Every structure is written in C-alpha cells, then in structure tokens.
Amino acid sequence: MRTSRGSACGEYLRRYWQPLALTREIDDRPLLIRVLGEELVLFRDGSGQYGLVHKQCPHRRASMEFGVCEQRGIRCCYHGWLFDIDGSILEIPGQPQDIADLVRRQTRLGAYPVKEFRGLVFAYLGPPDKIPAFPVYDTLEIEDQTLVPYRADYRCNWLQVLDAILDPIHTSFLHSRVSRAQFSDGLGEIGELLFYQREMSFLGANVRRVGEHVWVRVNELVLPNFTQAGAAFSADGTRPIYYGRTAFSRWVVPIDDENTTAFAWAIFGERADPEEYNTPEGPELIEQGERMDRSYAERQRYPGDAEAVEGMGRIADQKMEHLVPSDKGIIQYRRKLRKLCRDLENGIEPGQAGALWPNPVPTYGGDTVLRMPAREQNDREFLLEIGERVMQIQYDAEDLSGTARDAQVIEALKSLEAAHQ
C-alpha cells in the first residue's frame, strides 16, 4: 500500500511509466504535481518540450512552481537560474564565468523523462538505466473511436481504488441493486465468475444469462495499475456483440499513500460506448457510475465507487477483511504484487507488458454477447463452458494484431454461437 521512494512498492511502481497530468491542465505556467508521495513540477517550454523536475531549485531552494517557462527550459523566479528539460543548468546570471561553469558541471536540477500521449502526460520516475519502452495497448489503436482523457481523484489509498477492477460482483450490487441502475440494467444479474492470471495480466470475467443470450464481460488489470473493462452503458446482454472492447483505459496512480488519481481515457465508438455518451459528464459516469461532486445525501442514496472505497478509510486495514470466493481475483493479484515487490527488493527486476507480449500489447477488457438459448439442465455449467471458450478464442489470437486479430476472433465467436443453436 505504501508507495513513497524507498518503500518496496514505491520502488516497484517506479519501474513503470505513470500518467500524472492531462495535457489540457498545462498552459504557459509550471504545474505542481504530487505523485508517489513526491512533489514535482511539470512544465512545457516555448519549444513545446515537456519537463518534469524536482520542486526545489538547487541554488537556494525556491520552488520551481513559481518559475518561468522560457523558449528553452524553465527559469527559477528567485535568481534566474535557467534549467533545460533534462535539469541541466543553461544559465547562472550575474556570476563570474569560471564559477558559473564550475557550478554547472557539479550540479543540476533533478529531472525525469516525460512522454505526452494522446492527451495524457506520462513520466518515468525510476532508475535511468531501467527505463522500459513506453507500452502501447491494442485498444488505443482501434480505428474510428474517440479517446477522451479524464482524471478522477479519490481520497484513499490506491489499492482500494485498484481492487474494484477485479471485483466483478460489485457491479451487480453497488452499481445496480443498492444504487439506481448506474450502468446497463443487465448488470444486476450476478452471473458466473471466472478468473484468469497470466504473468502480470489478471482478468475477472462475468458470464450472465440474459434471456436467449450469453453475455461474457471481462474486467482487466495489467500490473501494476493499468485497468480496462467493457462498455458502461451500451452492453446489456440483450443483443449480440462480437468482440466488444473496453470503454476506458485507465491507470490508478498513487498521489501519496492516502490519495489516488485515476488517469484515463473514456473510449467512445462502435466497439466501446456509443458517441452519444460522449458528454461532459460521460467520463465520470463511466469511471464510477455517478458524478463525483455530489451532496452527502445524494452520495448516501446513490453511492458509487468513491463512496465504497473512500468509506474504508484513508488506508484500509486489510487484516480486518474477510475474503470470500468472489474475491479470488483480488487475492491473486495482491499475492503477485507482493511477490514482485519482494523480488525487486532482492534484485529481481519485474516484467514489463511491452516485453512479455507482442506490441501493441493485446488486452481483454470488453463484452461479448452470443445468442445461445438456455439449456433445460445445467445452464450454469453451460455458461461457464461458454465463458471459458470465449476467453480461449481471444488468447488464441494473441499473436495477431489489428484487423487480423479482430477477424479471427469474430469468426471464431460466430462459429461458437452457430454450434450451440
């Protein structure tokens, strides 16, 4: 749960690119960032380059949040030292040349690599020699879809927010039965649960019977903190969907041990949620079923994810939990997370999605709905069998990408459907 520099999990998380701002949050002023318990300053200089630097100036510790973005680099407000995006010193005004040269050789402002990608700004905060390739997930490259960047802030530890993705059963209660139906009506049915674990990829599939249809909905976690799931609104199990994909791609990022921000894209298009849900409040509704900024009474009547996970306290006491079989996905991923953190303490580097799988990285969050009439007997076993088959069809196409993968998966799903009429 603890993620500051030097903690086991903090060092583990620093082995991955993490989003820490939306591009639209950055103008000509520096932006004070809190991430993984550190205070940093993000800026874009006049040439359009991004820099992420330590907050305190190495001269006499003024805060770079009050610095000035120049054509090249950022200038400290106090005595005008100018720093490049990599933190090296470009100018030390008003000093003898030999002294300025000496200081420039001896010190710098701490800085991290930054990558802006489709409206989100990512940084890598780990050791320079361990920097991984920036992973691109396959769902970000689907044609004719709109990626809408958003952020959602939670006042609690990051694992409380992350857990929900491998908790498919909470959708049937929190988002359906306890509250008003926050997503589609069909989610109120619990269905059968299947869990998968491969390397750092964890899937929780919910297989539901909706009349004549079998609906396989997959929630996904790629460690350490990348999450996806099916459509929030347009999938309800009442019409066939062949290989629907995720409605969000989202990272659950610790701000510090008691605050978390989900940085994400809400995804609109034929294979996610339809464009008509691309409204100003659309991303918030996809994120947690309700608007984030609501009165206490409203939050009590219609609790969403924020109420469920913030209500546990700033750092939940996991020792007081009583886990049950539907928590299997949570148990599995926590165990793996703990192992990866301990391994790193022992010098074993964790895996990277971009190195373990083909690029773009194949992912699985999404919905498939097949028309398959109910069995008179053992329909529950039938649902589980179909769920397994649907997942296997996707795994079998893992080495393919783009339209080739789509074609193979969709054809196999349709023949599976045809074989069970």
Applying CB under 6 A, the residues found at the interface with ligand FES are 57, 59-60, 62, 76, 78-81
Q: Measure CA of the first residue to CA of the last residue in the chain; give whole Å.
A: 48
User: Does residue 156 contact residue 312 with C-beta atoms inside 8 Å?
Assistant: yes
Alpha-carbon dihedral of residues 209, 234, 365, 124, nearest 10 degrees?
Answer: -160
Dig out the tokens for 100 from the structure: 């300025």
Partner from ligand FES, Fe ion, none contacting 147, C-beta within 5 to 8 A by type: none
Site string for Fe ion, 156-185 (x = CB under 5 A): --------x---------------------
One-letter amino acid identity for 365? G
Site string for Fe ion, 79-118 (x = CB under 5 A): ----------------------------------------
Q: Which is nearer to ligand FES, 60 or 380 (CB)?
A: 60
Choose the stretch contacting Fe ion; rule: CB under 5 A; options: 251-259, 303-311, 337-345, 362-370.
Answer: 303-311
Verify binding: residue 305, Fe ion, rule CB under 5 A. yes
User: Does residue 27 contact residue 68 with C-beta atoms inside 8 Å?
Assistant: no
Q: Please give the Cα distance from 56 to 34 (Å, whole number).
A: 14
CB of 395 to ligand FES, least distance (A): 54
Q: Which is nearer to ligand FES, 24 or 60 (CB)?
A: 60
Q: Which is nearer to ligand FES, 57 or 369 (CB)?
A: 57
CB of 46 to ligand FES, least distance (A): 19
Q: Please give the Cα distance from 400 to 219 (Å, whole number).
A: 21
- Nearest C-alpha neighbor of 37 from the set 260, 292, 328: 260
Alpha-carbon dihedral of residues 116, 117, 121, 124, nearest 10 degrees?
Answer: -80
Q: Which is nearer to ligand FES, 74 or 174 (CB)?
A: 74
Dig out the tokens for 163 from the structure: 């857990």
Q: Is 203 exposed, middle or buried (0-12, 13-18, 19+ CB in 10 A)?
A: buried
User: Does residue 3 contact residue 37 with C-beta atoms inside 8 Å?
Assistant: yes
Partner from ligand FES, Fe ion, none contacting 305, C-beta within 5 to 8 A by type: Fe ion
Helices (H) and strands (E) in the chain, counts: 11, 19
Tokens 């400290």 identify what position? 76
Partner from ligand FES, Fe ion, none contacting 34, C-beta within 5 to 8 A by type: none
CB of 61 to ligand FES, least distance (A): 6
Partner from ligand FES, Fe ion, none contacting 5, C-beta within 5 to 8 A by type: none
Verify binding: residue 38, Fe ion, rule CB under 5 A. no
Q: Which is nearer to ligand FES, 106 or 346 (CB)?
A: 106
CB of 79 to ligand FES, least distance (A): 3
Q: Which residues bind Fe ion (CB under 5 A)?
A: 164, 305
